[in-house]
Amino acid sequence: MWRESFRQSRGSRMSKGKIVIVGAGMHSAMLIEILEMNDFSIVGLTDPSKSKHGASVCGYPVLGGDEILPSLLSSGVSGAVVGIGGTRAEACLARKMIFEKLIDMNFSVPELIHPSAFVSKRAKVGRAAQILAGAIVQANALLKDNVLINAGAIVEHDCVISNHAVLGSGAVLCGAVSVGEASHVGAGATVRQSVLVGRSATIAMGAAVIRDVEDFSTVLGVPARNKAKEEVSK
């Protein structure tokens, strides 16, 4: 549906409306490019860090903290997107908090799919999903709400990715993998077919995951093994 509206918009160049990016991290630059390609009118970004206020990202201003969101909404900025990416499960929880706040405030939070990504027509994509350049989502995959699939990641057939989970760049989920809520699969990690990844788990960069991953655990290496909590800093 989104890809259909994308094609229509290229002909008419009609703005899809005003939108704000919530979180001015490095991830936000990639969202800006997708939003520009889709004729959204970006008013700027918000970020809790005062040191970023007045700065800009790709030419768009960091307007202030999240406290300005109600006034943006009442001035006609009806769209918002989650602007932070992340490198571990804790960041997935931060993405969850922002998403839930935006939904509670009645912002429209669109899904963002880079035009170079392939998303099977037999895949299902939930609200506010972000699928970046070159990612592949195969048939019968299910991506739930606020999922982030970074550049070049591959979600094979029949995978289920729960709310707020993140795949790092180039991560590969073989078929029928299940990733729990707010878990992070590191860049370049590979997860064997039919493995269950629990919730709020972190899979390190480059790991080869061959067994199920417990909730709240961190796994590292080839093959991936549990890393004791005290060995991995917060």
Ligand X SMILES: CC(C)(COP(=O)(O)OP(=O)(O)OC[C@H]1O[C@@H](n2cnc3c(N)ncnc32)[C@H](O)[C@@H]1OP(=O)(O)O)[C@@H](O)C(=O)NCCC(=O)NCCS
Interface residues with ligand X (CB under 6 A) are 87-88, 150, 168-169, 186-187, 202, 204-206, 218, 220-221, 231-233
> Within 13 Å of residue 154, how many CA atoms lie on the same side as its CB?
13
Nearer to ligand X, 63 or 209 (CB): 209
- b/e sequence 16-37, b meaning 16+ C-beta within 10 Å: bebbbbbbbbebbebbbebbee
Token pair for residue 120? 């099977």
Nearer to ligand X, 78 or 226 (CB): 226
Closest residue by Cα to residue 148 from 134, 172, 165, 171: 165
Closest residue by Cα to residue 191 from 213, 169, 164: 213
| Structural Rg of the chain based on CA atoms | 18
Active-site residue identified among 53, 157, 164, 184:
157
- Rounded to whole angstroms, the Cα distance separating 210 from 215 reads 16
Nearer to ligand X, 106 or 233 (CB): 233
Q: Supply the minimum distance, in Å, between the C-beta of residue 145 and ligand X.
A: 20
Q: What is the largest CA-CA distance in the chain?
A: 56
Per the annotation, the verdict on 184 as an active-site residue is no
Q: Reduced to 3 DSSP states, what percent helix, strand and coil does the chain have, rounded to the nearest 5?
A: 25, 25, 50
Nearer to ligand X, 162 or 202 (CB): 202
Residues marked active site are found at 157
